[in-house]
Amino acid sequence: MASDLADPTARRRFYLMLIRKRARPGSGSSLEMLRRRTWRLPVFPLESIVQTPFVIVGGVATRLYAPERMTEDLDVLIAAEDAGRFYAELQQGGGQRQGRLTIPGSHWRLPDGSLLDVLESEEPWVREALTNPAFAPDGLPVISLPYLILLKMRSGRITDLADVSRMLGGAEEDALDQVRAAVRAYQPGDLEDLESVIQLGRLEYEERQEQ
């Protein structure tokens, strides 16, 4: 079993199996809190020191699609072929390289002391994601929901699965259709799991309305 769970897809399906066995209506949080979208925690204005296209991903990106949660690191996604230019701009702007990540990318300390993880991607959709971002209230480019779901479905981490469930459980049907289209186009093997996660997320939101 341990060797099987080394594969992100197998790990995700194992988590889903456990969650489906124990899922109950509601979440312990009010519907008002679940629908709240805020951007109160400060984020370093990265566009002030780099010109190479990037989008915010990770926990900070989920603020546009789910209740805001604490996260100490800023994560961004870039095209792998842009890495040299992006890193040169980052260093010139006062960033200090801390090391490599276990996945393609690197870890940095920004001029204000905060931490930055840069993820390098060769996915076929990365250029589309970079040129069609959503935008935070402070103007920073955030990865749009369909591509954020692609990233999080790939990871196999239970925290990412929880993020997907909460984001999609409260999403409108047209947003869900865009997510389904992206998964169908780029990760069709994840479609069945995607529908399971949507249903689990809706259980948290929709049943809460009836209480």
Which pLDDT score, from 0 to 100, does residue 20 have? 52
Give me the pLDDT at residue 196, please. Answer: 87
CA-to-CA distance for 64 and 134, rounded, in angstroms? Answer: 9
Beta bridge partners of residue 162, listed in sequence order: none
Mean pLDDT of 7-32: 54
Judged by average pLDDT, the poorest of 94-98, 149-153, 199-203 is: 199-203
Tokens representing 76 are 């961004």
Q: What is the pLDDT of residue 49?
A: 96
Q: Kindly report, residue by residue over 138-166, the tens digit of the pLDDT.
A: 889 999 999 999 999 887 677 888 889 88
| 3-state SS, one letter per residue, for 91-143 | HHCCCEEEEECCCCEEEEECCCCCEEEEEEECCCCHHHHHHCCEECCCCCEEC
Max CA distance (Å), the chain: 55
Q: Is the pLDDT of residue 188 over 80?
A: yes
Residue 43, pLDDT score: 85
CA distance 2 to 48: 45
Per-residue pLDDT for 80 more than 90?
yes
| pTM of the predicted model as reported, rounded to 2 decimal places | 0.81
1 pLDDT above the threshold of 50: no
Residues of the chain with CATH 3.30.460: 29-143
Q: Which of 27-36, 61-70, 188-197 has the lowest mean pLDDT?
A: 27-36
List all residues 6 or more positions away from 169 whose beta carbon is below 8 Å from its beta carbon.
198, 200, 201, 202, 203, 204, 205, 206
For CA atoms 130, 131, 132, 135, give the dihedral sign. positive
> Look-up: residue for tokens 């988590």?
15
**pLDDT value at 199 more than 50:** yes
Model confidence at 32: pLDDT above 80? no
pLDDT at 208: 46
What's the mean pLDDT when you consider all of the chain? 84
Backbone φ, ψ for residue 124 (5° rounding)? -65, -20
Q: Is 29-143 CATH 1.10.10?
A: no
